Amino acid sequence: MKLLVKFNLVFLLVFVVGLAVSGTVARKLLQDGAHEEVLDRARLLMENAMAVSAYTANQVAPLLETQMKYTFLPQSVPAYSSTEVLNALRKAHPEYAYKAAMLNPTNPRDRAQDWEEDVIMQFKQEPERAEFIGQRDTPAGRSLYIARPIKIVNANCLRCHSTVDAAPASLVEKYGPANGFGWVMNEALGAQVVSVPMSVPLQRADRAFVVVMGLLASVFLLIGVALNLMLWQLVIQPVSQLSKLADRVSLGELDAPEFKARARDEIGVLSDSFSRMRRSLVHAMKMLDT
């Protein structure tokens, strides 16, 4: 097997191993980056929902207290305001979702679905847990969701949700006496859930992965071509010429032209050694003839 073939086999092995390792690392980094991007978006939406809830509780609800004596206004409920604001966002971005999911909601639209019930039960089983992150399949593709528990920490909030008799008559009149009562302080009653699609960031990560792998393959290819040219020019070609000259001298062509190396490297040293050996051989042959 020729030297150039051996070299290329070794280089090909290094290329395959290097590309596989680089690809694995690059894909993981890109996938992790896409996941973090989606998670940041979800947390931003969650903070937006919480900001709307705080604004409603602190500034809107006090202004509606007088009207609430006669007619229950859901706009005074923080969870309702957050849902309405983010539902407006969904008109432009339907793949995003927000819900104040409850096991026993006052408003029927807030009733938790099966998978949301599982999340709420996680908060019930782990009271100290402040956040839950997961993924699920949706009709629009893979989606990441982030959930935070809904708890009653202010006793004033229980006036609407402890018993039917204690609740404002306007609330009972609007939603009925069947749901939204019996809530307990500091217990996970539901969860704020934000869902963000993963398809776009993951597709972007896949495209970036293809570009990165293409660049890596191109770099390896260029390095391989450069090394092959260097090996041919600096080693194989001079050694081949020196080998042919040695064959001619061994067959008695003592007047064959000398090989002159252009570089003062190992090949040049080998060429000088061969030239000295040849001159010694010629001198010895002349001595034998005389």
Cα distance between residue 110 and residue 15, in whole Å: 56
Do 175 and 36 share a domain, yes or no? Answer: yes
* Boundaries of domain holding 270: 3-11+207-289
Do 254 and 167 share a domain, yes or no? Answer: no
Q: Please name which of 272, 270, 273, 262 lies closest in space to residue 234, comparing C-alpha atoms.
A: 262
Task: List own/partner pairs for 4-7 with CB under 8 A and 24 or more apart.
Answer: 4/228, 4/231, 4/232, 4/236, 7/227, 7/228, 7/231
Cα distance between residue 69 and residue 67, in whole Å: 5
* Residue range 68-98, pLDDT digits in tens: 778 888 888 888 899 988 888 888 888 889 9
Do 146 and 50 share a domain, yes or no? Answer: yes
Give the CB-side neighbour count of residue 162, counting CA atoms within 13 A. 11
What pTM does this model have? 0.70
Do 143 and 169 share a domain, yes or no? Answer: yes
pLDDT (0 to 100) of residue 165: 81
Do 51 and 127 share a domain, yes or no? Answer: yes
Do 36 and 133 share a domain, yes or no? Answer: yes
Do 139 and 276 share a domain, yes or no? Answer: no
Do 156 and 240 share a domain, yes or no? Answer: no
* Residue range 194-234, pLDDT digits in tens: 999 988 888 899 999 999 999 999 998 999 899 888 888 77
Q: Give whole-number Cα distances, 108 to 100, 166, 186, 199, in Å.
A: 11, 20, 22, 31
Q: Is 186 left (phi over 0), alpha (psi -120 to 50) or beta?
A: left
CATH number at residue 82: 3.30.450
Q: At what angle do helices 237-250 and 266-289 cross, to 10 degrees?
A: 10
Last residue of a domain, one of 176, 198, 220: 198
β-pair partners for 97: 195
